[in-house]
Amino acid sequence: MAPSGLFKNVDYVGMGGIARVYKFSPEVVVEVAQREEYQKEQIGFELSTYKRLMPHKTCLFIFHYIHYTDHAIFLPYMRGDSLESAAQQASKNMIANLEPLRLRLTWMHDLAQGAAFLESLNLSQGDLRPANIRLDHHDRLHITDFDYAADFGTPYISCLEPYGRVLGKMDPYFGKTEWVAGMLGPRTEQFALGSIFYYFNYGMDPYGDQYLTSNPKVRHYRPRDLFQLMEFPVLNRDPDLDDITHKC
């Protein structure tokens, strides 16, 4: 049921960090800014990115808008699945069944093509993770949610492990403060791809199968520390796929 006072005659799909989503028609959803001023500003920022992408609709692996108003974006309806549920399972240390190799290779291709397309526009998605990747009816992936998208060289604001990495002292852009993520660029997008590829091929997030400390309550802090030191999980499955993940 939709929240009271909003779109009473359409189906309420769900709520994200900055917007509510409603099913406007069988083929279209509308993303409506929540009431806080920050959320309205963020959806306006996301819309500016969609407008920037609009003249370049040749990439099939990027979400494109259909129509917009001051505080709403109309988007194609997909079946509703994202990779977020898989990431949630991994966070509980539950190893998922792997998809067939052919499908995993297809997904790796789709994400790489989408990220390369954005790079050709000097643009970073800025928050590349399973929640922001959607499946269509043909099991092809599409990058969506551009509220943190920005040009290369912009500070990396949304650095969420294991899809983002804070810098270590060996990194050239390491700052005076300890936990800095540096600037958006190929480095940040490739790291996110590597973590997603790892999930595809291992059925869990990086380090998702290990308790890295004796106290499980602080377990979620440790991968961040290891990533900062450039220490990554052992890759011991398919050599070719592992090589791609390692390079990311």
For 143-191, how does the pLDDT look when each residue is reduced to its tens digit (9 = 90+)?
988 989 999 999 999 898 899 999 988 887 776 666 789 999 999 999 9
For the chain, domains (ranges, CATH) are: 11-76 (3.30.200.20), 84-247 (1.10.510.10)
Q: Average pLDDT, whole number, for the chain?
A: 81
The share of the chain scoring above pLDDT 70, in percent, equals 79
* 3-state SS, residue 155: strand
Average pLDDT over every residue of 236-243: 94
For 80-121, how does the pLDDT look when each residue is reduced to its tens digit (9 = 90+)?
566 665 445 444 444 456 788 999 999 999 999 999 999 999
For 56-88, how does the pLDDT look when each residue is reduced to its tens digit (9 = 90+)?
777 889 988 888 887 788 888 776 566 665 445
Taking alpha carbons only, the member of 163, 248, 146 closest to residue 208 is 163
* 3-state SS, residue 30: strand
Would you list the DSSP string of 3-25?
PTTS-TTSEEEEE-SSEEEEEEE
Residues 182 and 176: their CA atoms lie apart, in Å, by 11
